[in-house]
Structure 1
Amino acid sequence: MVEPSLFETLLLDSFSPLDSAERSKCPQCSCYRKYYCYDCLIPMVEHFPHVSLPCKATILKCKKEPRSKSSVVVIKLFSPENSEIIDCLGEDSSVPEFPPQTMLLFPGPGSKTLSDLSNDELLGIKNLVFIDSTWLQTKSMLRNQRVANLPMLRLENHTTAFWRYQNESKNSLATIEAVYYAYVDMYKEKFSRGLETEAYQGQYDNVLWYFVYTYQRIQNDYIEKKHKGKTFKHIPGYIKNK
């Protein structure tokens, strides 16, 4: 189960823009949104953080799942110049061909850890691909040869803090968590080899800005506010009583 102390070390921008947010009409689609428009991928509040990702993040989002349920489409607001959201199905042509030096983040057979990569391989990563779908739909994605042919990278020793129930292990991360840990672990691996001159300074922490805000809001609602005294039935032990 998630440890609350995980978030205490993150260097995050202030949540005040989110705290003061009210629903308003999206200037592009005219739908009412509170924090950001997940369809148009534009913020509805000022001062959304910007994160400079070291290489491109490509999100293959299953188009059977609504964007409103996705944890990761918000990455396009944090790093608009170095991220891409592709709504697709595994067996259709909407999955693009990927350029050289692309890796798929997935713990499949033959996947490597960051420590398995040579210095040239580690420094050469230009594009990280993440699958944003249910585990059942992920199998369909992996049947697409453009996805299946990518070298796979897996993460180690991370526990999810996601509030949506899933019957996989506690190490099965929400997609936005996977994006965050992939870039942080990559940086730390480079530093350990002398390929970065300074230790990690929190430069990717704001990838989890909206995720942590939502986590804290759920905790607060069940401890102090509208769900006070009720049990969060989806995941036993999820609410951390003060």
Structure 2
Amino acid sequence: MSSLDQEQRLHPPCRDKTTVSSDSSDIHELAKQPLQGLKLASHVELEKAQQRGRLKCAKCGGSRMFFCYTCCSLVGVSIEEIPLIKLPVKIDIIKHPNETDGKSTAIHAKILAPNDVTIYTYPCIPEYEKEKVVLVFPGPQAVTVQDMIQCLLDRTDSRSHDFSDGPCLKRLKNEEAHYTTHSAEDPGSGTPDEATSPESRVYPLQRVVFIDSTWNQTNKISTDERLQDLLKVELKMRKTCFWRRQKGKPDSYLATIEAIYYFFKDFHENCLAQEYTGQYDNLLFFYTYLHSVVNKAKISAGKC
């Protein structure tokens, strides 16, 4: 269990005033909130940028803080001052056209892992090979991250028998073994301009798709015929810490950056079969800082 998991059990996100007593120590504990114990880069530069206030984006002229969610570029913070993350598998984010850019956390992933994240605006969806791509989305047919690789292998095996004699099961198992033992030395480090060899990509998974929209808008994208054949993967037993909770939705409905973080954490532990030591914690670099700012403001206003 990661520090984030432990803290979520100990300090669940605030929901109403009944969760806070008049004891000052409780208020202090609430101010800390659940995203503690992660291995994050320093937030000092974000604190300085916040003190300077909003600046104009050099590309679009919009008033922004930390980054421009329209241009996917940093504002008031240099690239040397933020962590850059190398992901073991590339991801695509399909964004609903009506999703408010300023409220989306998808931009966090694009800025922190620029070489491994692509954002598309629906109805633009690439063509995918169903044996090599998964869609992270809940549903009755969804599988866990633990079962994902075997399901993809089964699909590959089934297709090989449909079109030819295909590779034998033994070869598939050998490739699966290669998958479970091979990974970068430190996938949480490195720079986005590092060369990525085909061998560093995990067989058979080549890409992971996430949907970025409000939960009331997801149906239009998730039921698109171009995504129907993809294996669906569900992140079970995870709780959101997002400060923009959607009315009537359970706390298992995650913000986009939360879903990306939890997927790769589970992927590292269950698919790469390696101990998780914070390799992808910095995916929450902006999220944790904004979370603390919002909660401090709520406490000051007596709303929490």
**Given the alignment of the two structures, is residue 138 of structure 1 paired with residue 168 of structure 2, yes or no?**
no
Contact 2:141-2:232 at 8 Å conserved across structures? yes
User: Can you give the 5+ residue segments of structure 2 that lack an aligned partner in the other structure?
Assistant: 1-11, 15-31, 151-172, 181-201
Contact 2:106-2:256 at 8 Å conserved across structures? yes
- 1:220 alignment partner, one of 274, 280, 296: 296
Alpha-carbon distance in structure 2 between the residues aligned to 1:128 and 1:229: 40
Q: Give, as a single letter, the amino acid of the residue that structure 1 aligns with 2:89.
A: C
Matched position secondary structure for 1:60 = strand
User: After superposition, what is the alpha-carbon deviation per residue over 1:102-150, rounded to whole angstroms, capped at 9, x for unaligned?
Assistant: 1000111211112223283874211110001122211111221111221
**Given the alignment of the two structures, is residue 104 of structure 1 paired with residue 104 of structure 2, yes or no?**
no
Distance 1:176 1:127, change over 3 A: same
Matches within 5 A, 1:150-189: 150-166=230-246, 167-189=248-270
Contact 1:72-1:175 at 8 Å conserved across structures? yes
- 2:84 aligned partner: 50
Matched position secondary structure for 1:130 = strand
- 2:302 aligned partner: 230
Contact 1:48-1:77 at 8 Å conserved across structures? no
Matches within 5 A, 1:71-90: 71-88=105-122
RMSD across aligned positions (CA): 1.9
- 2:47 alignment partner, one of 19, 40, 54: 19
Question: How far does residue 66 in structure 1 lie from its aligned partner after superposition?
Answer: 2.0
Question: How far does residue 158 in structure 1 lie from its aligned partner after superposition?
Answer: 0.9
Provide the aligned length of Structure 1 versus Structure 2: 219
Contact 1:2-1:159 at 8 Å conserved across structures? no
Alpha-carbon distance in structure 2 between the residues aligned to 1:164 and 1:213: 15
Judging by fraction of residues, say which structure has more helix: 2
Q: Give, as a single letter, the amino acid of the residue that structure 2 aligns with 1:20.
A: K
Contact 1:159-1:171 at 8 Å conserved across structures? yes
Alpha-carbon distance in structure 2 between the residues aligned to 1:8 and 1:165: 20
Q: Give, as a single letter, the amino acid of the residue that structure 1 aligns with 2:220.
A: S
Alpha-carbon distance in structure 1 between the residues aligned to 2:208 and 2:301: 42
Q: Give, as a single letter, the amino acid of the residue that structure 2 aligns with 1:230.
A: G
- 2:13 aligned partner: 2
Question: How far does residue 31 in structure 1 lie from its aligned partner after superposition?
Answer: 1.7
Alpha-carbon distance in structure 2 between the residues aligned to 1:190 and 1:9: 24
Alpha-carbon distance in structure 2 between the residues aligned to 1:230 and 1:134: 27
**Given the alignment of the two structures, is residue 201 of structure 1 paired with residue 295 of structure 2, yes or no?**
no
Of structures 1 and 2, the larger Rg is shown by 2
Alpha-carbon distance in structure 1 between the residues aligned to 2:233 and 2:282: 23
Q: Percent identity?
A: 32
Matched position secondary structure for 2:119 = strand
Higher RCO by CA contacts (8 Å cutoff, separation 6 or greater): 2
Q: Give, as a single letter, the amino acid of the residue that structure 1 aligns with 2:302.
A: K
Q: Give, as a single letter, the amino acid of the residue that structure 1 aligns with 2:230.
A: L
Question: How far does residue 11 in structure 1 lie from its aligned partner after superposition?
Answer: 0.4
**Given the alignment of the two structures, is residue 63 of structure 1 paired with residue 89 of structure 2, yes or no?**
no
Question: How far does residue 6 in structure 1 lie from its aligned partner after superposition?
Answer: 4.2
Alpha-carbon distance in structure 2 between the residues aligned to 1:115 and 1:185: 8
Question: How far does residue 49 in structure 1 lie from its aligned partner after superposition?
Answer: 1.4
- 1:28 aligned partner: 59
